Amino acid sequence: MTPLDKVEGRAIPFGLKNVDTDVIIPAHWLKTTTREGMGRGAFESLRADPDNLFDSADFKGAPILIAGDNFGCGSSREHAAWALGDLGIRVVIAPSYSDIFSGNAVKNGILPVVLPQAAIDRLMEVAATDPVFVDLEHQTVTTQFQDRFAFEIDPFRKMCLLEGLDEISLTEKSDAAIGAYEARLDAEHPWMRPAA
């Protein structure tokens, strides 16, 4: 996973509340076999409108997305995070997320920043014309107009994102413990292995 520390650039002033994973990536995109290319299906219904934000000259490829409450609710599909990542989004800023979505986002190198609605409102205003700066190390979102919003993040998630560590690499550090567990299981309960 690509490490994430400072992200700066245009932020899509999307702002909608309760955006569910069906809006982020419609179900028919689930019938794929790769994670790549899913950006094409991201926000498909909204992007059917030729004047949509996502494909506008200003925001196409923008690395930051600003959204409303309860972003990523609905089904647990991880495709939502893949679609955002494939669209080029590295940071989402919203007042709240569904639990599953924020977990999936971090697993896929996307930072879900939680800020209060007042901060979101201000950032929406700035984002319309100017870039936004996100600093994960210092846990801040800033603008060139002296705005400075601090955010909280679980230290484990922060470390994973900063170091670009996926959970598998982390677990692989416990390889010896897993091996010891397997050996003990084979000794104590040999029947646990599938017969035949």
Partner 1 sequence: MTRPRTLYEKIWDAHVVEQRPDGTCLIFIDRHLVHEVTSPQAFAGLRATGRTVRRPDLTLAVPDHNVPTTPRLDAAGNRLPIADVESAAQLAALEKNAPEFGIRYIDAVAPEQGIVHVVGPEQGFSLPGTTIVCGDSHTACHGGIGALAFGIGTSEVEHVLATQTLLLQPSKTMEVRVEGEVGPGVSAKDIILHITGVIGAAGGTGHVIEYTGSAIRALSVEGRLTVSNMAIEGGARAGLIAPDETTFAYLKGRPYAPKGADWDAAVAYWTSLATDPGATYDEIVVIDAADIAPSVTWGTSPEDVVPITGVVPAPDSFADPSKQTAAAKSLAYMGLEPGTRMQDVAIENIFIGSCTNSRIEDLRAAAAVIKGRHKADNVKWAIVVPGSGLVKAQAEAEGLDRIFTDAGLEWREPGCSACLAMNPDKVPAGERCASTSNRNFVGRQGPGARTHLVSPAMAAAAAVTGKLTDVRELMA
**Which residues lie closer than 8 Å to 2 by C-beta, 6 or more apart?**
109, 164
What minimum distance in Å lies between the beta carbon of 38 and partner 1? 10
Segment interacting with partner 1, rule: CB under 8 A, options 41-49, 70-78, 111-119, 137-145: 70-78
Closest CA to 89 of 114, 62, 54, 71: 62
Q: Are 115 and 102 in contact (CB under 8 A)?
A: no
| Nearer residue to partner 1 within complex by CB, 125 or 166 | 166
Q: Rounded to whole angstroms, what are the CA distances from 84 to 59, 75, 104?
A: 14, 16, 11
**Which residues lie closer than 8 Å to 154 by C-beta, 6 or more apart?**
none
| Nearer residue to partner 1 within complex by CB, 145 or 156 | 156
Segment interacting with partner 1, rule: CB under 8 A, options 12-20, 40-48, 103-111, 114-122: 103-111
The b/e string for 146-178 (b: 16+ C-beta within 10 A; e otherwise) is ebebebebeeebbebbeeebeeeeeeeeeeeee
Is residue 101 near partner 1 by the rule CB under 8 A? no
Segment interacting with partner 1, rule: CB under 8 A, options 10-18, 102-110, 118-126, 130-138: 102-110
**Range 137-176, binding partner 1 (CB under 8 A):** 156, 166-168, 171-172, 174
Determine the 3-state secondary structure of 187 from DSSP: helix
Q: Quick one: which of 18, 70, 108, 140 contacts partner 1 (CB under 8 A)?
A: 108
Binding mask 48-67 for partner 1 (x = CB under 8 A): --------------------
Size of the site for partner 1 (CB under 8 A): 35
Q: Which parts of this chain interact with partner 1 (CB under 8 A)?
A: 27, 30-35, 76-78, 82, 100, 104, 107-108, 156, 166-168, 171-172, 174, 177-178, 181-182, 185, 189-196
